[in-house]
Amino acid sequence: MFLYRNDPSTLALSKRLYTAVEVVLVGLVLVLAGHGFPRLIQGTGEWAVALLVYGLIGVLIVRFWPHGALGWANRVTLVRSALIALIAGGLIANVSVVGQWQWLGIAAAALLLDGVDGFVARSTHCESDFGARFDMELDALLILLLCLALITTAELAPWVLLIGAMRYGFVLASNIYPWLKAPLFPSWRRKAVCVWQVAALLLALTPLTPSDVSALFALSALITLVYSFGVDMWWLYRRHPV
């Protein structure tokens, strides 16, 4: 019995099960929250998309976090992932103006939580590479969903997808140029640009915003993002071995 309880594979499995339980519990919160927005999550299609997105995120968490309890910062980020899953589900819904405002409210809540999880991580001294990557990938997914909404609801041209695709393009480029995988220095500029991207896209998506103003908001997000990526890529290029 003593050997069984200290077997590394058994301990690893029990930790992953613990993580999975936390993911499922937050998934239940997702379901309850979705029922609170009946004008947004209206049918099986919206629910299928929301649960699929959250399920994929949950599988990745269990796969890459083998330490059991997630910690409070990662739990906040997990709640944020549930909100983003609702955003994905609402994206395919044909909703009223009230439903659009509900969708934007959920997206705004996800943006606000983006700062909360970092504060919690610093306050509880539980920063981790996993938490930083988890947060970054959720930012990229949220921005991509907002860009898709700009095409479907604000009727902007597909160029806005450049905003949402840039992070994924950077990841693909790093497989061709490994020097792009080097760690970057901490930067408030990078964080500010990320916040402005989401804020600008949300402002562009409000029912009160004219389409030409929406395009200007989206363009400002694209310009600042290109600038930020350019600064980081130039910094990495100058430091990579020839």
| Percent share of the chain, pLDDT over 70 | 93
Of 212 and 8, the one with more pLDDT: 212
How far is 229 from 59, CA to CA, in rounded Å?
29
| Total number of domains in the chain | 1
Which CATH number goes with the domain that contains 28? 1.20.120
- Per residue in 37-55, pLDDT (tens digit) is 766 777 788 889 999 999 9
Question: Confidence band (pLDDT; 50, 70, 90) for 118?
Answer: confident
pLDDT at 7: 59
Residue 213 has pLDDT above 80, yes or no: yes
- Per residue in 58-73, pLDDT (tens digit) is 999 988 887 778 888 8
- Summary mean pLDDT of the chain: 87
- Per residue in 23-41, pLDDT (tens digit) is 999 999 888 888 777 667 7
Of 100 and 220, the one with more pLDDT: 220
pLDDT at 4: 44
pLDDT at 2: 39
pLDDT at 1: 39
pLDDT at 8: 60
C-alpha distances (whole Å) from 9 to each of 14, 66, 83, 144, 158 are 9, 11, 33, 38, 48
- Per residue in 151-206, pLDDT (tens digit) is 988 788 899 999 999 999 999 999 999 999 998 888 889 989 988 999 999 999 99
Q: Say whether 6 sits in a helix, a strand or coil.
A: coil
Buried b (16+ CB within 10 A) or exposed e, 184-212: eeeeeebeebbebbbebbbbbbeeebeee
How far is 142 from 174, CA to CA, in rounded Å?
22
pLDDT at 144: 94
Q: Say whether 149 sits in a helix, a strand or coil.
A: helix
How far is 92 from 48, CA to CA, in rounded Å?
11
Residue 12 has pLDDT above 70, yes or no: no
Mean pLDDT of 95-106: 83
pLDDT at 13: 65
CA 239 to chain centre: 29
**Residues of the domain holding 43:** 2-239
Q: Say whether 18 sits in a helix, a strand or coil.
A: helix
